[in-house]
Amino acid sequence: MASSRVAFRPELFLSLQSSSSKRGGVVRSQRVSMASTIPSSKVENQKKPYKPPREVHVQVTHSMPPQKIEIFKSLEDWADDNILVHLKPVEKCWQPQDFLPDPSSEGFYEQVNELRERAKEIPDDYYVCLVGDMVTEEALPTYQTMLNTLDGVRDETGASLTSWATWTRAWTAEENRHGDLLNKYLYLCGRVDMKPIEKTIQYLIGSGMDPMTENSPYLGFIYTSFQERATFISHGNTARHAKEYGDVNLAQICGIIASDEKRHETAYTKIVEKLFEIDPDGTILAFADMMRKKISMPAHLMYDGQDDSLFQNFSSVAQRLGVYTAKDYANILEFLVDRWKVDQLTGLSGDSSKAQDYICTLAPRIRRLGERAHGKAKQASTKSFSWIHGREVQL
């Protein structure tokens, strides 16, 4: 297959985002402003009634050798016994309503007022992080699509009974509660401007995402292992901060979401652990490949119709508040190296052994780069966010 690799860009670690500097550029559609001199193929494009607001240009597909699909078919029973057990039966799951004022109860208005009083104690920059997290969760259709791009594990019919497809649908159904709960909380709290937030969600789902997983379940499950842990950490941190601001209810909301993410992390890391057992060379190469490309955040194409650097600005606030930082990125990598006992793998081929060296020495290097960038960081600037009625927060 055509593999157009993008060079490793260490500076990308520092801002925790991907955006325009890699994979050939993420750009805003120029549809409206294009001149009449453009080639005819582009004129065709112009006639499209809708173009994604954020576009990714260099995309690699189907990089896994087709014979490896058999590995995933042969793991069907294993996944039944080892992965589906990490799903919770619906009857035992929490639902958003468990943590929100009950609209059918007499005390609804009072409960809403209490929620709003508590919200007044929380600063704007916290809400920027919470909105960014909510928008990320709300782009769930994109993530289900992403899982269904993966060769050998996709849901072929939409109701397929394979273990992989069963997992993906039930995982999506569990995840759906996250955006739902955060969205309803933010709607009630009175601290944010819902319309630009809703526009951000619509823009984001319209743009999709490019995790650079190339239809390969090796790359895909490494990505999801990393990402579930990243969300576990960030929701855990917003829970901790809410508690510090005295809002135990909001802490519970973020905490309960974090606990789902942890369970999902357990499942995805188990899949990759199994791949290391069956195909250590293929798996270590995939791990190194993902780390070289950097794990891009799922909402990296975020846009609200106004701010071209919305994702970077949101990431800066999250970094400053300690909700999700460059250090967390390095910690997750280290956690996964440890979880999969990468340093203990033996008998690897030449390239794989180089990949092993690369991975095992990467976390300290990322930390050093992060510290250096932190030292060089210019004086704090502020940025206005449409999500909070244009009020400014420090980046």
Site residues for Fe ion per CB under 5 A: 137, 175, 178, 228, 231, 261, 264
User: Could you confirm whether 167 is annotated as catalytic?
Assistant: no
The whole-angstrom separation of Cα 224 and Cα 80 is: 19
Q: Which of 138, 155, 175, 328 is catalytic?
A: 175
Q: How far is it, in rounded angstroms, from Cα 280 to Cα 80?
A: 22
Write down the residue that tokens 């109701």 correspond to: 159
* Nearer to Fe ion among residue 174 and residue 307 (C-beta): 174
Residue 387 annotated among the catalytic residues of the structure: no
Per the annotation, does 265 bind a ligand? no
What values do phi and psi take at 8, rounded to 5? -65, 130
Is 260 marked active-site?
yes
- 241 and 323 in contact (C-beta within 8 Å)? yes
Taking the complex as a whole, how short is the minimal distance between the CB of residue 93 and Fe ion, in angstroms? 13
Candidates 125, 138, 174, 261; catalytic one: 261
User: Backbone phi, then psi, for 349, in 5-degree steps?
Assistant: -70, 175
When the beta carbons of 201 and 355 are compared against Fe ion, the nearer one is: 201
Which residues share a beta bridge with 26?
56
Query: 102-110 contacts: CB < 8 A, separation 24 or more?
Result: none
CB 16 to Fe ion: min, Å: 17
- The DSSP code for 108 is H
Nearest CB to Fe ion, comparing residues 236 and 370? 236
Say whether 145 is catalytic.
no
Q: Is 137 annotated as a binding residue?
A: yes
Q: Which of 94, 124, 145, 334 is catalytic?
A: 94
Cα 272 from Cα 359, distance rounded (Å): 15
Whether 228 has a binding-site annotation, put simply, is yes
Return the number of the residue (137 or 214) whose C-beta is nearest Fe ion.
137
Which tokens go with 327?
């250090």
Q: Is 110 a catalytic residue?
A: no
**374 catalytic per annotation:** no
25: left (phi over 0), alpha (psi -120 to 50) or beta: left
In the bound complex, what is the minimum distance in angstroms from residue 178's beta carbon to Fe ion? 4
261 is in an annotated binding site: yes
Query: For Fe ion, which residue has the nearest CB?
Result: 178
Residue 2 CB partners (closer than 8 Å, separation 6+): 60
Is residue 261 flagged as an active site residue?
yes
CB of 313 to Fe ion, least distance (A): 22
Q: Any alpha helices (H) in the chain, and if so which ranges?
A: 12-15, 40-47, 69-74, 76-82, 108-119, 124-138, 140-147, 163-189, 194-207, 217-244, 248-278, 280-293, 310-321, 326-339, 350-360, 362-376
Which is closer to Fe ion, CB of 138 or CB of 155?
138
57 is in an annotated binding site: no
264 is catalytic: yes
Which residue among 125, 133, 214, 260 is the active-site one? 260
Does the annotation mark 178 as catalytic? yes
366 touches 330 (CB < 8 A): yes
Shortest distance, CB of residue 232 to Fe ion, whole angstroms? 8
Q: Which of 125, 174, 210, 228 is catalytic?
A: 228
Binding-site entries:
137, 175, 178, 228, 261, 264
Binding-site entries for Fe cation:
137, 175, 178, 228, 261, 264
Active site residues per annotation = 94, 137, 175, 178, 228, 231, 260-261, 264
